Amino acid sequence: MKLGTELISGRMVDTYVMSAEDIAERIRTMEIRGAAEIARRAAQALKEDVDSYPGQDLQGMRSRLEKGRDALLASRPTAISLWNGVHYVFKDTSKLITAEEYRTKVRENADRFIRRSKNALKTIGILGANRIREGDKVLTHCNSKAAIAVMAEAWAQGKRFEVYATESRPWRQGVLTANDLAKLGIPVTIIIDSAVRYVMKDIDLVLVGADTIASNGAVINKIGTSQVALAAHEARVPFTVCAETFKFSPRTIYGELVKIEERDATEVVKEGEVPPQVRVFNPVFDATPPEYIDSIVTEIGVIPPYAAYQVIIKELGQEFIFYED
């Protein structure tokens, strides 16, 4: 059934009711991208799965949603926003005894997560805009909706500044960022990733997003982020992360390491471009240590990176840390 149209990878496409497995495949192939967006789409897919399940067989309903859950979680193993969003949908469902109770709770959880996610972006924009001053030169990396929300709000407030956006290879998400900012009227210059240190001497503020924030305050984000942070640290330029609290990882509290996803070599070199004995290493993310991060802008306030542990406990709670199937 057709729902309407949406903007995906820079183009408008028709949208239909899809199963969680269908959405998982679109996340895996990066047709759906962005940490917050994949989390919201996963929650919506699980809601649609439970709505479309025929009959009142609770076990069958559970089995269907758990299959969808597993497919979604496998699609982007590094993205904690996806993990948190999916598990939020299942919150308080383990002891329900009727299919209708289960369906209602899944719907409520999915709607609450999606609503909170969207509202968080607005709040981050308002709080983060205070970090941008008139005449600033801001550098950003990859395509962070949270970082863009901050810049959009600052611009709407009448502040005039310019932005340098890294190309962000191999997927070149920086081109998406440049288009988003240009539509708002914000002056933007695209630079190649390796030019970051060269331009850093002229930068006043770095704004990036996050895929995952560990309990020690380390930020897992698009490959190259740590190099941007290192260059900013050397040049004494404030390095600010913009992230919703559902990007904080409860799993890291008990020692679990964040898995760095490695993608296909053809994203870097075309088939036949190098001899078969040449190995291509294509990690998607890297880790920026907390000592290179000045602050993290969240929907609950601007915090130091070392406050990540308290955020995880307060906002996500023990049921996220000890999730039960």
Among the listed residues 49, 180, 211, 294, the single catalytic one is 211
The token pair that represents 34 in the structure block: 């962005």
Averaged in consecutive runs of 10 residues, what is the pLDDT profile of the chain (325 residues)?
A: 47 65 94 90 97 95 97 90 94 95 97 94 97 98 97 98 98 97 98 98 98 96 98 98 95 89 94 96 97 97 97 74 44
Residue 4: the pLDDT is 46
**pTM strictly above 0.85:** no
Pick the CATH number of 127-317 from 3.40.1710.10, 3.10.180.10, 3.90.1150.10, 3.40.50.10470: 3.40.50.10470
Q: Is 242 a catalytic residue?
A: no
Q: Minimal CA–CA distance to 229: which of 252, 246, 206?
A: 206
Q: How far apart are the first and last CA of the chain?
A: 31
Angle between helices 35-52 and 58-75 (to 10 degrees): 160
Residue 318: the pLDDT is 55
Q: Is 142 a catalytic residue?
A: yes
Q: What's the rounded Cα separation, in Å, for the pair 321 and 318?
A: 5
Return the domain boundaries, the chain.
2-122, 127-317
Among the listed residues 142, 180, 242, 294, the single catalytic one is 142
CA dihedral 91, 21, 36, 179 (to 10 degrees): -170
- The CATH class of the 2-122 domain is mainly alpha
Residue 35: the pLDDT is 84
Question: Is the link from the previous residue into 304 a cis peptide, with omega within 30 of 0?
Answer: no
Could you tell me if 113 and 85 are in contact, meaning their C-beta atoms sit under 8 angstroms apart? yes
Beta strand 212-213 pairing with 219-222: antiparallel
